[in-house]
Structure 1
């Protein structure tokens, strides 16, 4: 697919955190997902990737998705997925087990008594 064709794919602008693995390197890198479509995504982070690098991205509610780096510009990069995904799944609410630790931490840090949040 050339660049002109790629621009016709609908994108969903969002902000998610995800984990990225690079082929040939150990470990994972925390990145920001800035937009997401069925065929790819734009990521941002302090990880050095090169065009053509093989990667896997762990996207919320979707899991690990394989792809390759299509472009790089400073700390942002595009990933073309090997197989299409349903990007709407990434916007779905987290499951109770994923949300519970964050909610628990939130209540104790901001409201030691565990009281309800007040609407402002």
Structure 2
């Protein structure tokens, strides 16, 4: 099936503010839940993450400017909009800045974490 593809906007010389990105992006591979009004929630793979947005693998047709929400581990639900669309990927510009390092914090070792979700530690 054919899919419309739009290349990400160029970072320089563009009048579009979504193409004028700044700040470091953290490359990673992280699952997240993506919610777009009128569609079922889907699991996507985040490929890079910054305070202002992310790039995720998403093969469905979606247009620039489409409002969405994404739940990122360690951060929670964040609102945003599609900034660009390329073959099998989307760029998301967040409505508010986040701490991208919070997504890298370990999970499953807290006192309130159920026993079945904690790693098994063997004593010698």
**Which interval holds the TM-score relative to the shorter structure?**
0.7 to 0.9
Q: CA RMSD in A?
A: 2.3
In structure 2, the residue corresponding to 1:43 is in which secondary structure? strand
Give the structure 2 partner of residue 60 of structure 1: 73
| Deviations, residues 41-84 of structure 1 (Å, cap 9, x unaligned) | 00103333211110100000111100000000011010000000
Structure 2: which 5+ runs fail to align?
1-16
Give the structure 1 partner of residue 90 of structure 2: 77
Distance 1:102 1:33 in 2: 24
Calculate the TM-score normalised by the size of structure 1: 0.75
Structure 1 segment 1-120 matched on structure 2, within 5 A:
1=17, 3=19, 5-6=20-21, 8-23=22-37, 25-96=38-109, 97=113, 100-101=116-117
* Distance of aligned partners of 1:73 and 1:84 in 2 relative to their CA distance in 1, 3 Å threshold: same
Aligned residues: 103
More relative contact order in 1 or in 2 (CA 8 Å, sep 6+)? Answer: 2
In structure 1, the residue corresponding to 2:101 is in which secondary structure? helix
Structure 1: which 5+ runs fail to align?
105-114
Runs ≥4 in structure 1, deviation > 2 angstroms? 45-48, 95-104
Calculate the TM-score normalised by the size of structure 2: 0.73
